[in-house]
Every structure is written in C-alpha cells, then in structure tokens.
Amino acid sequence: MRYSFHPEARTEFKEATIYYFEKSPSLGAVFYSEVESAIEKLECNLIV
C-alpha cells in the first residue's frame, strides 16, 4: 500500500525537513528517515 500526504501535511513535512536540514544535514536526513520508517510501520500494521 502506498500512502499520500494531505497537501498541507506534505507542505509541513517538507518545511520541517528543510528546517532540520538547515540546522544539520545529518539531522535533516535522520528526521526524514524516521518519518518514512514510522509510515512504513503504520502501513505494515493496517488492518483492512
């Protein structure tokens, strides 16, 4: 199953990723990776 963000959530995720990346590129990468990981875990645990 693939997911899609609500347009406002997509904007917020993008802005947060940029914010953390500007603080530290590795922090931005970790933030992005953690969000992706959490989404994958949710997808694996969905009961349809």
pLDDT in tens, the chain (48 residues): 577 889 999 999 999 999 999 999 999 999 999 999 998 888 888 765
Rg (CA), the chain: 12
**Distance, CA of 11 to chain centre:** 11
Whether residue 1 is contained in a domain is answered as no
**What would the 3-class secondary structure string for the chain be?**
CCCCCCHHHHHHHHHHHHHHHHHCHHHHHHHHHHHHHHHHHHHHCCCC
User: Total structural domains in the chain?
Assistant: 1
Whether residue 2 is contained in a domain is answered as no
Residue 47 confidence (pLDDT): 60
Quote the domain boundaries for residue 23.
7-44
Which residue has 């997509």 as its token pair?
10
Whether residue 15 is contained in a domain is answered as yes
